[in-house]
């Protein structure tokens, strides 16, 4: 049987037919149309309205004492970041007499508190025992361990601010805003303080007049400071001081 060698014309015809067979037919895609569409779809995100901060009403302004937060730092006696000294009998660095002692195995920077025993000797405990309770047992000083009240920390939450270190602003009452007319030196809360002392130089003091000799007025402030001011520097609202000075 004779085999004819394909001519160049024949090969060209086959290739042409193969190309024509594919014309007009969409190319096969391994990705479904729905998936493709989801990939090219853009999602338009509308602006979600955010809550706007409170704004003062007409005739109001942001409270100068709390800067519009509604709270101020707790000023209760002894409160530091919401904590105060433990009321229990545990060792505290600000209670008793602490001294430096030369004790073998301890650095010179250690401080010690002495507890005298029934035989006239003493036993000393250093700062590492702060928060522990020292008791006398059979005439001997004994460390009974961490205080049951503070757990050995020496501190407990402040009863005023509940350990938060913040209290409701006394000027605005937590409302964040006050009348425009109120100022740091002229507002109802300030005027209601029974120990308010105004000075002509603009200073505001909270305290009590302890003594008046001639024109010298001795004042003890709320925070324990002692101040001497001339009676002529006392504002008229503190007339009682001027009267005492004259007597």
> What's the pLDDT score for residue 34?
40
Strands (E), 5-129: 60-62, 71-73, 83-85, 112-116, 122-126
Tell whether the model's pLDDT for residue 27 goes beyond 70: no
Q: What is the pLDDT of residues 107-121, one digit of tens each?
A: 999 999 999 999 999
Residue 168 is predicted with a pLDDT of 97
Residue 55's pLDDT is 87
Domain with CATH 2.30.30.700 in the chain: 60-66+174-246
Q: Taking residues 150-159, report their average pLDDT.
A: 95
121-139 pLDDT, tens digit each: 999 999 999 999 999 999 9
Residue 88 DSSP one-character state:
S
Query: What is the DSSP annotation of 127-194?
Result: GGGTTEEEEEETTEEEEEEE-TTTTTSSEEE-TTTTTSSEEE-TTTTTSSEEETT-BTTB-HHHHT-T
- Mean pLDDT (the chain) is 81
- pLDDT average, residue stretch 54-80: 93
Res 37: pLDDT: 39
Question: Which secondary structure element, helix H or strand E, spans residue 19, and what is its range?
Answer: helix 8-22
State how far the alpha carbon of 187 is from the alpha carbons of 100, 118, 174, in Å.
50, 60, 15
Position 70 pLDDT exceeds 70 = yes
Specify the range with the lowest mean pLDDT, choosing from 51-55, 92-96, 116-120, 182-186. 51-55
Q: Which of 7-16, 115-124, 173-182, 235-244 is least confident? A: 7-16
**pLDDT band of 53, cuts 50, 70, 90:** low
Interval 177-234: pLDDT, tens: 999 999 998 999 998 999 999 999 889 898 998 999 999 999 999 888 999 999 999 8
Instruction: Return d(Cα 88, Cα 68) in angstroms, integer.
Output: 38
Q: Token digits for 90?
A: 């545990």
- Hey, is 92 helix, strand or coil? coil
**pLDDT over 70 (residue 46):** no
* pLDDT higher than 80, residue 87: yes
Q: Does residue 142 contact residue 134 with C-beta atoms inside 8 Å?
A: yes
* Domain boundaries 60-66+174-246, corresponding CATH code: 2.30.30.700
pTM: predicted TM-score of the whole model, two decimal places: 0.58
């Amino acid at each position: 049987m004779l085999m004819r060698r394909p001519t160049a014309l024949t090969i060209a015809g086959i290739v042409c037919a193969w190309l024509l067979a594919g014309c007009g037919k969409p190319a096969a895609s391994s990705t479904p149309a729905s998936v493709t569409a989801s990939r090219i779809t853009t999602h338009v995100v509308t602006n979600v309205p955010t809550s706007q901060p409170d704004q003062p009403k007409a005739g109001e302004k942001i409270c100068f004492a709390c800067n519009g937060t509604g709270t101020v730092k707790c000023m209760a006696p002894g409160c530091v970041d919401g904590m105060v000294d433990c009321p229990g009998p545990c060792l505290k660095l600000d209670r008793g007499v602490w001294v430096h002692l030369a004790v073998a195995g301890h650095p010179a920077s250690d401080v010690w508190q002495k507890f005298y025993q029934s035989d006239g000797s003493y036993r000393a405990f250093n700062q590492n025992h702060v928060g522990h309770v020292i008791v006398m047992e059979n005439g001997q000083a004994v460390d009974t361990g961490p205080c049951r009240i503070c757990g050995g920390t020496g501190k407990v939450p402040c009863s005023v601010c509940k350990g938060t270190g913040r209290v409701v602003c006394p000027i605005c009452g937590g409302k964040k805003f006050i009348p425009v007319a109120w100022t740091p030196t002229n507002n109802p809360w300030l005027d209601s303080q029974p120990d308010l002392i105004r000075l002509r130089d603009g200073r505001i003091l909270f305290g009590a007049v302890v003594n008046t000799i001639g024109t010298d007025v001795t004042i003890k402030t709320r925070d324990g400071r002692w101040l001497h001011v001339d009676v002529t520097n006392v504002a008229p609202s503190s007339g009682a001081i001027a009267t005492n000075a004259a007597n």
